[in-house]
Chains A and B, each alone.
Chain A
């Protein structure tokens, strides 16, 4: 893979990422960080000043999809986003994330209150859905509606709850912040959270795409090799049509992601990519489980790991609230009909 030079294509990252993800299988979280960093994968979208490649978001898509497909047990999406989010106001921290020296994550659910005290800010509240928070060095929390702060995990007043939720691959934690004092310089401006979530939606869609692809491949393999009534399962129209519907959903997600990182894409296309992934992703992994029959319900068949992951990613992005917000924005922007045609 050429890491510099013009003409680099996002797809070129897919092979490197898949290999790196496979290599990470037996490594600790910190070893994974260094391994992924050595392959240049943590800084794909971060600035070159902090050790990144300064590439558009489209280049992170195949990386995160490979992580989804390979069930990478590392908060990769968070590392990718933090490298870029921190690169201007907290360049040292961004550099540490990109180089794999510092393990950082993001608490996607909830927000904390913040009070300024001289050169410090005091944080109070509950946040959740922070991947791998029990082992992380620091994490990003939302303040109020749109600001954010980077908080060291060893700060006084932080309690990380036991991992909870469905996801076994990248376990999520709730975190309590009780009078946690951080330097005022660790607070990022009001627009931070919105930008972060917009990028995160595309990468979540990519992670779901990876998982959905893996699920369909497993279901297809099972349907072709498992025999019932003297024939392969795939002989039956009910099975063929179920798999065809999964393929339809998968290609819908893939095309929506491609569109969301195209030159003319905006917030709508990014939301749509995540929401398409949210809607189709669980249907594909649930469908794959069903095709496996009783075997699909066993711990050893990894379809449930993908299903758990997909459901956790949906919840992180809050599909239902995002759909309602999209619908409300649309409804609110359209004027009541007059007698005249509304065409255009």
Chain B
């Protein structure tokens, strides 16, 4: 295990840097500290264990690579969104593992910053960044997937205590999380969007049961979570009881446009890996040089450039103080479909490799088979393609639904 336990000198120095100097500092730190075994584009790849991931992400935070825009008072680095973009570009360039706490850092944290009390911000936010609390998201239910407003999990208040009863599903990472961001109903089902509240529920609380669900890639990362009369203190209720849905929508808008901002640059890393693997195999090298596949590679490059353009435009809009509104749906729709096109191309190419498979082709096959399967989820989670198209039609084009 090679993860850094002490603060490296670069991190302290980076605090005074901005712009390109900041980029160089982040790049140096990542390259010096990212263990080779964590990189899925190398022969030494061995997926990190949960404790390894937690230690690595805590080290990234100490180096200035998490909580980048969060206020310093709550453990953040107090930097600009442009610097967040720079850091993400550097993170994306490397084939490093996905965060095990992206829900904490990119969903729960921003919601707490928006609607949490001062006490909640001081209690929850540093714990997320230091990886003491890993979060999961309890929104979807068996009867409320895309139609989130019909959720049935109920929260009943009695003085300073709430009791939560119900069931959540598709809760990624619940088995490893300490806290779940639960959206629950406080009023009647007919109220739809009104009467929803959010809670930071401890997953070791009495009455919580987590059951993993095996996904198409054979992993057991997403789960069902059952809440059986779970007691939650008022101090773990986020925002006013009827503010839950409004807060969720507001944060989801921004989150959809800014989360995992490194995607375009990771996508680029994947394309580079695919082509380098192909270039190492005489049959594949000839194939990718032929016009048919050269055009397909060209199309993927355009997809990546358009994705970067979506991301950079969103950052510009937010920096200029514009509301991002529903525009995040455009970027989400584009990347999820573009990534599936790329993954299908990668499989198609690598299937034509010469035998016996060269080590570099084996490494690429292992990576891109996993990416292909995982990419099938990308047009489903965080709002399916059909939901995103609906959002664009309703809120961007404002198409009439009337008779």
Listed in ascending order, the chain A residues whose CB lies under 8 Å from chain B are 220, 223-224, 230-232, 234-235, 237, 240-241, 243-245, 247-248, 251-252, 255-256, 258-259, 268-269, 272, 275-276, 279, 320, 322-328, 330-332, 334-344
Contact = CB atoms under 8 A, between A and B. Distances in A.
B390 A325 contact: no
B289 interface: yes
A341 B302 contact: no
A240 B386 CA distance: 10
Interface stretch (B106-114, B212-220, B267-275): B267-275
Contacts of A237: 390
Given A230-B403, A326-B298, A337-B279, A342 B272 contact: yes
A235 B393 CA distance: 11
Interface residues of B, number: 64
Contacts of B275: 330-331, 334
Interface in B305-326: 305-306, 308-310, 312-313
A173 B360 CA distance: 51
A11 to B, nearest CB: 13
Interface of A is mostly: helix
B344 interface: no
Contact of B294 (A235, A241, A268, A324): A324
Contact of B298 (A230, A244, A258, A322): A322
A343 B310 contact: no
Given A322-B298, A326-B301, A336-B276, A252 B289 contact: no
A240 B389 contact: yes
B359 interface: yes
Contacts of A342: 41-42, 95, 269, 272-273, 276
Interface of B: 31, 34, 36, 39, 41-44, 93-96, 269, 271-273, 275-280, 285, 288-289, 291, 293-299, 301-302, 305-306, 308-310, 312-313, 327, 330, 333-334, 359-360, 363-364, 386, 388-390, 392-394, 396-397, 399-403
A237 B96 CA distance: 39
Nearest to B39: A341
Given A328-B289, A331-B289, A339 B360 contact: yes
B360 A223 contact: no
A301 to B, nearest CB: 20
Contacts of A344: 31, 93-94
A232 B276 contact: no
A247 B277 contact: no
Contacts of A326: 294, 297-298, 301-302
A247 B388 CA distance: 12
B334 A220 contact: no
15 contacts: A232-B400, A243-B393, A243-B397, A245-B389, A248-B333, A255-B309, A255-B312, A259-B312, A331-B289, A332-B289, A335-B279, A336-B280, A341-B44, A341-B95, A342-B273
A248 B295 contact: no
B334 A252 contact: yes
